[in-house]
Amino acid sequence: MKIKIVTLFPEMFQGFLSESIIKRAIDKGNVEFEIIDFRKYSHDKHHHVDDTPYGGGAGMVLRCDILDECIEDIKTPKSHIALMSPQGVQYNQAMANRLAKEEELILVCGHYEGFDERVRGYVDEEISMGDFVLTGGEIPAMAISDSVTRLLDGAIREESYEDDSFYNGLLEYPQYTRPQVYKGVEVPFVLQNGDHAKIKTWRLKESLRKTYLRRPDLLKNRTLTKEEAKLLAEVKDELNNN
């Protein structure tokens, strides 16, 4: 996969691309990044990319002609173009799974007071991180790049993300490591006895418990298997009896 990020602040990505899973994925050839400073597409000597809004108002608006020239220059027939925008569809794991199947992503980062409305005609979708506003689109672009890269074949072991929160529509089960007992709290016995069938059932039940308590909305549209329905009923009984 190739990920192209269009930004006014390319230096923000230096640390992001040189650490942890992202760097290893780049080194292994799982993903290639290209950071594009769209200021270079400006034609005036001061490299302006924004202007005052028609009708008045505070702040500056990114110009559509400069962004259009940039996108036209870097896109290919394989490109899927996403605009980082608080007005976009809220990002989730299902979107990460979908984007990970693309051959090339172009992530367009905004800044200042936003984009000229015509920019929306140059992209395939708009993506939001949630109901809040950031200074620019660079952090959302990093979040999307990270969530997509870790799903690529060979980036990490498949079992490392299959049990992640949201990957299967549920929150992840509790995890423990040494010491076995700390400040009077012991690791659940089921995780110590080596019975993998029981461990699997316990993890599913605890995943359902966490989801029911913290994100019940995730269960509303979920079609439960017979095992999940049985375990969730047990969870509810336990909570009602406590």
Residues carrying an active site annotation = 86, 113, 150, 164
Per-residue tokens: 181: 């007992």
Identify the H or E element spanning 79.
Answer: strand 79-90
* Residue appearing with tokens 């200042």: 112
* Residue appearing with tokens 């990270």: 146
Residue by residue, what is the 3-state secondary structure of 180-196?
CEECCEECCHHHCCCCH
Laid out side by side, the sheet with 2-7 consists of: 32-37, 2-7, 104-108, 79-90, 125-128
- What single DSSP character describes residue 105? E
Q: Taking a C-beta distance cutoff of 8 angstroms, is the pair 52, 61 a contact?
A: yes
Distance of CA 72 to the CA centre of its chain: 25
